[in-house]
Amino acid sequence: MTDETVAPASPAPTPNQKVWDAPVRLVHWLLVFLVALSWWTAEEGDMQLHYWSGLTIVGLLVFRVYWGFAGPETARFSRFVKGPGAVLSYASKLFKPDYRASFGHNPLGALSVVAILLALIAQVGLGLFASDTDGLESGPLSPYVSYEFAKDAGDLHEDAFNILLILIGLHIAAIVFYLVIKRINLIGPMITGSRKAESVEGPASGIAPVPLWRFLIGVALAALVVFLIVWVPTTR
Q: Is the dihedral of CA 58, 174, 91, 190 positive or negative?
A: positive
By the rule CB under 8 A, 133 interacts with other proteins:
yes
By the rule CB under 8 A, 158 interacts with other proteins:
yes
By the rule CB under 8 A, 227 interacts with other proteins:
yes
Among 27, 37, 58, 116, binds other proteins (CB under 8 A): 58
The answer to whether 31 touches 15, Cβ cutoff 8 Å, is: no
Exposure letters 47-80 (e unless 16+ CB within 10 A, then b): beebbbbbbbbbbbbbbbbbbbebbbbbbebebb
CB of 110 to other proteins, least distance (A): 17
Among 30, 125, 179, 214, binds other proteins (CB under 8 A): 125
Element of type H or E holding 69: helix 47-70
By the rule CB under 8 A, 141 interacts with other proteins:
yes
CB of 105 to other proteins, least distance (A): 19
Among 15, 147, 177, 204, binds other proteins (CB under 8 A): 147
Residue 87, classed as helix, strand or coil, is helix
The total of other beta-carbon atoms located within 10 Å of residue 158's CB is: 14
Q: Quote the DSSP letter at residue 131.
A: B
Closer Cβ to other proteins, 118 or 208, answer by number: 118
Q: Applying CB under 8 A, which residues contact other proteins?
A: 58, 61-62, 65, 118-119, 121-122, 124-126, 131-138, 140-147, 150-151, 155-156, 158-160, 163, 221, 224-225, 227-229, 232-236
